[in-house]
């Protein structure tokens, strides 16, 4: 049964259609959860909720398993926009982690092949992929540093989000088509250097290393939100110019 978001005055809940639900604000019978999107429903004590179609972020925030640090929106968005992936693109990534980047990429790319070394992380990600119903994702248990990517991978983009991505760099290049991108997601700058030092010998042109800044603002009164995370990671992009 599909998920619905119940947006109330105070609280928002993620629930499934076809189930009777008990909320802090009262009970909603199963047929009320079958209401079309945008419609208001009332609990047995008269509290109103609007039925809204949840997006990927609603699912991640309220329903899906998060075992690892997930990539931030700003970084995932930049990777997608900067490398120009689209419905005709095949993308590979390691590690899968909780699958947030996997599922973000699955929304825009034709096919996503994701590799993860830890069985428990892979299982959790598999559940997340099934919950979302992303049928263009394949998940595989694999240590890409030792075993590399899959032989037939010939990707437009390969993303490495793991400790010491430089150790998987040559394998990532093997999985990339000429002209395709390899993106290394590095929380610390030493890893950036370690990656870039290996670019040339692997046929990669260093396109750029960037840190994407995001500052959230409180509107009334106008001032920056104190909780804004100042740093997530550096994104180092290489483009395969030589095979």
The footprint of ligand SAM (CB under 6 A) covers 68-71, 94-95, 97-101, 115-118, 121, 143-145, 161-162
Kindly state the smallest distance separating residue 184's Cβ from ligand SAM, in Å. Answer: 12
Kindly state the smallest distance separating residue 114's Cβ from ligand SAM, in Å. Answer: 9
Kindly state the smallest distance separating residue 235's Cβ from ligand SAM, in Å. Answer: 12
CB proximity list for 7: less than 8 A, separation 6 or greater: 49, 50, 52
How many angstroms from the chain centroid is the CA of residue 2? 20
Cis link prior to 221 (omega < 30° from 0)? yes
Q: Of 13, 6, 10, 1, whose CA–CA distance to 41 is shortest?
A: 6
Kindly state the smallest distance separating residue 96's Cβ from ligand SAM, in Å. Answer: 6
Q: Nearer Cβ to ligand SAM, position 4 or 125?
A: 125
Kindly state the smallest distance separating residue 67's Cβ from ligand SAM, in Å. Answer: 7
Q: Nearer Cβ to ligand SAM, position 164 or 177?
A: 164
127 token code pair? 């559940």
Q: Nearer Cβ to ligand SAM, position 90 or 128?
A: 128
Q: Nearer Cβ to ligand SAM, position 100 or 199?
A: 100
Q: Nearer Cβ to ligand SAM, position 144 or 237?
A: 144
Kindly state the smallest distance separating residue 239's Cβ from ligand SAM, in Å. Answer: 21
Q: At what angle do helices 73-83 and 100-108 cross, to 10 degrees?
A: 40
CA distance 11 to 25: 9
Element (H, E) at 90: strand 90-94
Please check whether residue 211 is in contact with residue 234, taking contact to mean a CB–CB distance below 8 angstroms.
yes
Q: Nearer Cβ to ligand SAM, position 5 or 71?
A: 71
Please check whether residue 24 is in contact with residue 9, taking contact to mean a CB–CB distance below 8 angstroms.
no
Which residue's C-beta sits nearest to ligand SAM?
A: 95
């Amino acid at each position: 049964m599909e998920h619905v978001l119940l947006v109330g005055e105070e609280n928002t809940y993620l629930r499934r259609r076809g189930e009777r639900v008990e909320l802090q604000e009262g009970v909603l019978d199963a047929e009320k959860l079958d209401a079309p999107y945008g419609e208001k429903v009332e609990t047995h004590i008269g509290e109103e909720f609007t039925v809204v179609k949840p997006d990927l972020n609603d699912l991640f925030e309220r329903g899906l398993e998060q075992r690892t640090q997930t990539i931030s929106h700003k970084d995932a968005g930049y990777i997608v926009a900067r490398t120009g992936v689209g419905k005709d693109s095949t993308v590979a990534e390691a590690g899968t982690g909780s699958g947030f980047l996997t599922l973000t990429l699955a929304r825009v790319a034709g096919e996503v092949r994701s590799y993860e070394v830890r069985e428990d992380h892979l299982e959790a990600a598999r559940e997340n992929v099934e919950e979302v119903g992303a049928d263009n994702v394949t998940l595989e248990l694999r240590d890409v540093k030792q075993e590399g990517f899959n032989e037939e991978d010939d990707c437009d983009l390969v993303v490495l989000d793991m400790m010491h991505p430089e150790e998987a760099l040559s394998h990532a290049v093997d999985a990339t088509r000429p002209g395709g991108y390899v993106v290394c997601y590095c929380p610390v700058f030493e890893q950036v250097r370690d990656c870039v030092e290996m670019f040339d010998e692997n046929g990669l042109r260093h396109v750029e290393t960037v840190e994407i800044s995001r500052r959230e603002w409180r509107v009334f009164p106008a001032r920056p939100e104190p909780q804004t995370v100042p740093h997530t990671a550096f994104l180092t992009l290489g483009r395969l110019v030589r095979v």
